[in-house]
Homo-oligomer: A and B are copies of this chain.
């Protein structure tokens, strides 16, 4: 926690390092910290779901298959902290809390969507590649066992 905010570990965009191929890959780089968040398993799902409409906590919990209450809470807090999701608490009993994407969150969703679409479009290719790889691996293992005899 408390990372990437006050530390300001040096700007990473447009460094004039001669080795800056296209973007900085330093471990303490802001871009990498943000990327870690943005590329998070649950974050991705939550943002995708909230793109459609405002949702309540329990509603999200049911929609995101496999998420625990704890992880959903943690994820939502991070997204709120990053300014990607807005949280509204209605002072009623029982409590009512609604989550929605901020404009920043919406713009991120556009990018995430393209990632999801790519995945859907190429899932068959990847499956095939995996099978081929596993087959090759199994064969090689077989070869080694044959040589041992």
Query: Which positions in A face B, CB cutoff 8 Å?
Result: 2, 4-6, 12-13, 19, 21-23, 25-27, 30-32, 34-36, 38-41, 44-45, 48-49, 51-52, 63-66, 80-84, 104, 107-108, 111-112, 114-116, 118-120, 122-123, 125-134
Q: Which of B63, B83, B115 has a CB less than 8 Å from the CB of A126? A: B83
Q: Are A48 and B30 in contact (CB under 8 A)?
A: no
Q: Are A130 and B5 in contact (CB under 8 A)?
A: yes
Given contacts A25-B49, A39-B44, A64-B25, contact A83 B116 (CB under 8 A): no
Q: Which of B38, B66, B129 has a CB less than 8 Å from the CB of A104? A: B129
30 A-B contact pairs sorted by A residue (CB < 8 Å): A2-B134, A4-B127, A5-B131, A19-B63, A21-B49, A21-B52, A23-B116, A25-B49, A25-B63, A27-B65, A30-B127, A31-B116, A31-B123, A34-B119, A34-B122, A38-B115, A81-B129, A82-B130, A83-B126, A83-B128, A83-B130, A83-B132, A104-B122, A104-B126, A107-B118, A107-B122, A108-B118, A111-B115, A114-B114, A115-B115
Assembly stoichiometry (copies): 2
Q: Are B5 and A134 in contact (CB under 8 A)?
A: yes
Q: Are B31 and A127 in contact (CB under 8 A)?
A: no
With the chains together, A48 CA to B129 CA distance in Å?
A: 21
Q: Are B133 and A80 in contact (CB under 8 A)?
A: yes
With the chains together, A26 CA to B67 CA distance in Å?
A: 10
